[in-house]
Structure formats: C-alpha cells, structure tokens
Chain A
Amino acid sequence: MTHSNSLPRGGVIPPDSSLISREAPIANAAVPSVAVIPMLQHAGRAAVCVVKPGDLVREGMLIGRADGAHSANVHSSIPGRVVEVRRLALQEGISSDAVVIELGGEFDRSGRPRTLKGWEKLSRIDLLGKIQSAGVVGLGGELVPTHLKLAVMPGKSASLLVANGIDCEPSLSADYALMREKPGEIVEALRICQVLVGAARVVLALGEDAEGLVPEFERALARTGLQCEIALMPSRYPQGNEQLVVSSLDGTRLSGPHAGSVVLNVATLFAVYEAVVMDAPLIERVLTVTGAPVAAPRNLKVRLGTPVRDLFDDCGGLSARPGKIVVGGPMRGVAIASLDIPVTKGTAGVTAFAGAEARTPKEWPCIHCGVCVEVCPWDLVPTRLHKLIQQGEIEQAMGEGLGRCTECGCCAFACPSHIPLVDILRTGKRSRGRTVDG
C-alpha cells in the first residue's frame, strides 16, 4: 500500500546542500573524554540533577530526574566521574545546569552482548513506565516526552498513528539512515505504540526520495503482521512537520493540533524500541554532520553530551575555517557561538557554513511581491505580520494568525529582499509573553 499525498499548500525546495552519501553506513562517533550533559534537553522544565561533583557514574545511570509533566529523565552517556555541575548557555536566552563527566571506568552496555526482552506480556502501565524512565522524548524537534503522546485515555483509542520518516530539514538525512539500517526495530516499536494507542489507521510516512526503502519495510511489516500503510510524500520542505503530515494524510485543511492522531518520528520510535526491548535509556542518537567546510560529511551515532567540536574530528576535521556553525539544519538550526556546545536529544544535525555562505545578505525594502504568502504552509501573510510587529501592533498580528507560525523559515528563505521575517515574527510572538507549557 503506497500512495502519494501532497503538501496542502506552500513550502519551498531549498537547494539540497547535503554533501553526504545517504547510503553510507552510520559511523560510530568517538566516545568523548568529557561529556557535558545539560539537564534541559526537552520541552518542559529542566530535570533535577541527582549527582554531585565527585560522584562516580555508570553508563546509562540516571543523573537528572524529570521535574513536572513535560520534563524528562536524563542519563549519563558515559561511565566516569562527575567533575562539576555548571550553568551552560545552550542558545540565546536559554541556559540550564549541565553535568560535566570525565570518562573513566568500564562500559556496562557498549560492547556487551545484548538481550532482547519480551514485551508482549507487559501491561500498558509498564510499557509507558519503561518509555518514561528511559527519558524518551520526540526526537524530531518538538522534544515532548513520548509517553505523554502514547498515553491514551483508558477506553479510548487514537484515530491515526503515524511513523514520520521524513527528515525534518532538507540537508539532514539521519532519519533516512536510521530507517535504512533499522527497519525491523522501527516496525517493532510501531507495534508497541499501536498496542498502546490502538489506532484505527497506522501509517508509515516516507519522503519521495526514500522510495527505495519501501520493499524492506513491506517485508518487515509482513513479518510482524502489523496492518500499516506506507505513504510517500513529496520532498518539499517542511513536509516533515507533524501537522502537515497529518493533514496530508487526512486530506483536511490545516488547523491546530489534530485530536486523536499520534505522530512519532522514526528516531523516537527507535528510542522506544531501545527502551522497551533493550531496557536501554536514551543516551545516544544519530545525527548528520554536513556543510561545505566539513571534510567528510556523514551520519554519526553520537553519545549525548559530546561537544560539537569532537564531531568534526569524526568527519575528517574542518577543511576550511567555518563562518557559522549551526546546530540543526539550514532552515531552522540555531547558530552557536562556541564549539563546546554539547549534542543533546534534539540535535538532528550539525551544519557548518563557509565564510561566504555565512554572510547575511543586504536587506532591501519589502516590495510586496507576495512570495512569502505563496510559500507559507500556514496560510499567513508574513509581509503584513512583520510590518504589524515592527509598528508594535502585536495584538492585530495575533488576530491575523501570528500564533499559527511555526517558524519553519520558508518565508525568510524565499524573500528576495532578504528580510529576516522569521526572526521578526519570532520576536513578535515572544514579546506577547511566554506561552504556558501544556
């Protein structure tokens, strides 16, 4: 069962700057000698640190306990000794405590034979508990604890369960690489989730460029007997967005969060598999290291807490002095000031830009060309919104839909006047006060 669905409207096709061979195997990144593990790697409040300097920690040991509904557990990704707990600036305006661990001692898991645990006999509560305690959060970017998404009200069931295999950014291919290497595991995790939510319809959504993976998945599905459609979607950014995937599948217009549908990124599903079947906490993830200055861009499996600096060493180093380093992809990634920023659960990729690419182009006046209106997937009028915000008319802008903006970056990408529309819209949203979690 394979069918194509198009983006309801808008979207852009950015130049594919992924310089990596998507087909190359995922390489294991070197274990960092010092891991810096922030307590804030998820949507809610930062986890409460449960270790202190001098403590010895084992690989996969709990070092931060979830604090509140949207918070998640944090585990040590390496064995060793806690050197210090310090404040770390993650990005503009956001900082959290981070545990600094110096590598030492033995690995409990890595390199040891792994035992599969049967999960069919476990209760829903046990399954959700395993996922929760492993600190699994949505790895596609939203970083909401996964057990919350899977906790369907008793007696109810979801209408739609989607395994989202579309990479969230144009030049990242970590999700693709994971799907190529672990189709069985992903399907198994999908089965677990289906047991939990009991959806009427289960769909595996793939990008058009991943058509080659369809036979492999069909075999895996046949083995397990899971009733699941495979849907191919156009590779137009931001097709990987959760709401867009759902509305493409439903054929409905865009609206707020879809009640009754559960969308899980394939990396998240793999983490669910590890948590349930392997009893392993989330301490590593696959990410893409790319960009012109990177000598050998590739997909890496990286332990959380590894500094970005180390990743480049695993990719043959930097061939040129980069002008800008971005955590994430080119459309939504956050530029970082220092290479010491660690990899966290949300890091789907690291992109380096050469000096010339990093220069911000000259800004011209808005000429009302309407390209931003054309590309906005959310039916907004970014040119009007940004002018309203600059005039201080935030309420008016909210009335015209500012709240629906997901900062996907299409408008600013397409703007011929190079107006930083997303930045202005984001400022407008922030100035209206922080939105309440949940």
Chain B
Amino acid sequence: MSWVGLILVFSLVDNVILSRLLGISPRAAGEKNARAALWLGVSTAVLMGVSALAGWAIDTMVLEPLRLGFLRTPAFVLSVAGLAYLLEAMAVRISPLLVRTSGFSLSGVALNCATLGIVLLTTRGSYTAAESLIAGLAAGSGFMLVRALMTAISERLEIERIPRAFRGFPLELISAGLMAYAFMAFDRAFLARMLGG
C-alpha cells in the first residue's frame, strides 16, 4: 500500500476512536485551552508514532529472534507506559506552566489503551520500521482530529438545555457514534478507487 494509503487508513478509515473505540474518556477540562489542546495533539501523535516504532523494534529485534512471542503483551504494555512517562517528563521540562495549568497528561488510562492498540495493530500488520512510525503518527493525528471535532461538539452542547440524563459523557458517546457512521464514507473501497484511479 502506498504511503498516502497507509496514512489515510490509519487516520480516517481505521480511526482509533471511531472505528476501534479506543481512547474514549470524558473530556478533560484542560482541553478548553486551545494552545494546550494543540500541544496535547502533537505530543499524542508523537507518542503513538514512537510507540509504534518501539513496538516494531521490540517485536522484530528481541521477541521474534528469541522466540518469546508470548511475552508481547507485557513487553508492549511496559514500553508504552515507559514512553508516555518519558514524553510527559520532557513536556514538563519544556513548558512546565502549560502542563501544570491545563491538565495536560499523556499517561491517562484511555490514551495508553489507544496507544497500545496502535502498537498491536502495527505489529500484527507486519509493517516495516518506517511504515510503523508513519502509521503511528497518522493514527495519532486521526485521534486528535476526531478529539478536536468532539470537543467542539461537546462545547456547543455544554451551554444548551439538554435532558439531564444525557448531559456530558452520554451525549459525547452518542455524538461519537453518529460521527462514526458519517466517517464510514471513508472505507477501503473509497481509498482503493481514489488512489488507484
């Protein structure tokens, strides 16, 4: 598959949130800050890209040659947690104020779940190192795109009079469901036709 195809598959077609249902959590208050949201977006994409690359390295360089395939899950889980911790420590170094004021966090459970999902998808898909990295970055961008759309939607809903039972998380899930239907327009047949013709 071409690079464009790879990017589109991981960002739109197999979107982490909309088609894999990973990384969903109630919206963090810090994301109201536009700059913090952008920061979080970029670092999430980096985290997913680097994790996918690390997953590839662990899988092909360590586990496969040593025939330790059954250790994949623990190895990936620990590498993702470690990388998230490292990246977050770096972010604290670079911009301590932003991290402290915005609730910026790369180590949330939902995000780790999504990152691990990407690592599992790329390692199971037998991609090369570069492809894994690109796929991870693309998945991260797709994740943040949908997150940005959902944040804007829930900000609009926040100030409406809405039945109490639906306020907040329930409507975020329903909105995500409707969005997932809309995004089904980008399917593999669409990609094949567009890139093939």
Asked if A and B form a direct contact in the complex, defined as CB atoms under 8 angstroms apart, the reply is yes
A residues apposed to B, CB below 8 Å: 384, 387-388, 390-391, 393
When distances are taken between beta carbons in the complex, the residues of chain B under 8 Å from A387 are 159-160
If over half of B's interface residues share one DSSP class (helix, strand or loop), that class is named, otherwise mixed; here it is loop
The answer for the CA separation of A391 and B160 in the assembled complex, in Å, is 8
If over half of A's interface residues share one DSSP class (helix, strand or loop), that class is named, otherwise mixed; here it is helix
Taking CB as reference atom, which chain B residue is nearest A387? B159
The answer for the CA separation of A388 and B160 in the assembled complex, in Å, is 8
Indicate whether B158 reaches chain A with its CB closer than 8 angstroms: yes
Interface size on B, residues (CB 8 A): 4
Q: Show 9 residue pairs from A and B whose CB-CB distance is below 8 angstroms, ordered by the A residue.
A: A384-B159, A387-B159, A387-B160, A388-B159, A390-B159, A390-B161, A391-B158, A391-B159, A393-B159
A393 to nearest B CB, angstroms? 7
When distances are taken between beta carbons in the complex, the residues of chain B under 8 Å from A391 are 158-159
The answer for the CA separation of A113 and B6 in the assembled complex, in Å, is 95
Residue from B158, B159, B160, B161 having most chain A Cβ neighbours under 10 A = B159
B27 to nearest A CB, angstroms? 16
B71 to nearest A CB, angstroms? 50
When distances are taken between beta carbons in the complex, the residues of chain A under 8 Å from B161 are 390
When distances are taken between beta carbons in the complex, the residues of chain A under 8 Å from B160 are 387
When distances are taken between beta carbons in the complex, the residues of chain A under 8 Å from B159 are 384, 387-388, 390-391, 393
B residues apposed to A, CB below 8 Å: 158-161
Taking CB as reference atom, which chain A residue is nearest B159? A387
Taking CB as reference atom, which chain A residue is nearest B32? A396
The answer for the CA separation of A393 and B158 in the assembled complex, in Å, is 11
Taking CB as reference atom, which chain A residue is nearest B160? A387
When distances are taken between beta carbons in the complex, the residues of chain B under 8 Å from A393 are 159
A260 to nearest B CB, angstroms? 35
The answer for the CA separation of A390 and B161 in the assembled complex, in Å, is 9
Taking CB as reference atom, which chain A residue is nearest B161? A390
A337 to nearest B CB, angstroms? 31
B66 to nearest A CB, angstroms? 57
The answer for the CA separation of A323 and B142 in the assembled complex, in Å, is 59
The answer for the CA separation of A387 and B158 in the assembled complex, in Å, is 9
Taking CB as reference atom, which chain B residue is nearest A393? B159
The answer for the CA separation of A217 and B160 in the assembled complex, in Å, is 53
When distances are taken between beta carbons in the complex, the residues of chain A under 8 Å from B158 are 391
The answer for the CA separation of A388 and B158 in the assembled complex, in Å, is 9
Taking CB as reference atom, which chain B residue is nearest A366? B160
The answer for the CA separation of A101 and B161 in the assembled complex, in Å, is 53
When distances are taken between beta carbons in the complex, the residues of chain B under 8 Å from A384 are 159
The answer for the CA separation of A387 and B162 in the assembled complex, in Å, is 12
The answer for the CA separation of A67 and B160 in the assembled complex, in Å, is 46
The answer for the CA separation of A390 and B159 in the assembled complex, in Å, is 8
Taking CB as reference atom, which chain B residue is nearest A386? B159
B152 to nearest A CB, angstroms? 13
A366 to nearest B CB, angstroms? 9
Q: Knowing that A390-B161, A391-B158 are A-B contacts, what are 7 other residue pairs whose CB atoms are under 8 Å apart, sorted by A's residue number?
A: A384-B159, A387-B159, A387-B160, A388-B159, A390-B159, A391-B159, A393-B159
Taking CB as reference atom, which chain B residue is nearest A383? B159
The answer for the CA separation of A388 and B161 in the assembled complex, in Å, is 11
The answer for the CA separation of A86 and B129 in the assembled complex, in Å, is 89
B191 to nearest A CB, angstroms? 34
The answer for the CA separation of A390 and B160 in the assembled complex, in Å, is 9
The answer for the CA separation of A11 and B159 in the assembled complex, in Å, is 26
B151 to nearest A CB, angstroms? 16
Taking CB as reference atom, which chain B residue is nearest A396? B159
The answer for the CA separation of A8 and B85 in the assembled complex, in Å, is 52
Taking CB as reference atom, which chain B residue is nearest A397? B159
The answer for the CA separation of A388 and B156 in the assembled complex, in Å, is 10
Taking CB as reference atom, which chain B residue is nearest A391? B159
The answer for the CA separation of A110 and B159 in the assembled complex, in Å, is 59
Taking CB as reference atom, which chain A residue is nearest B158? A391
The answer for the CA separation of A160 and B160 in the assembled complex, in Å, is 45
When distances are taken between beta carbons in the complex, the residues of chain B under 8 Å from A388 are 159
The answer for the CA separation of A391 and B161 in the assembled complex, in Å, is 8
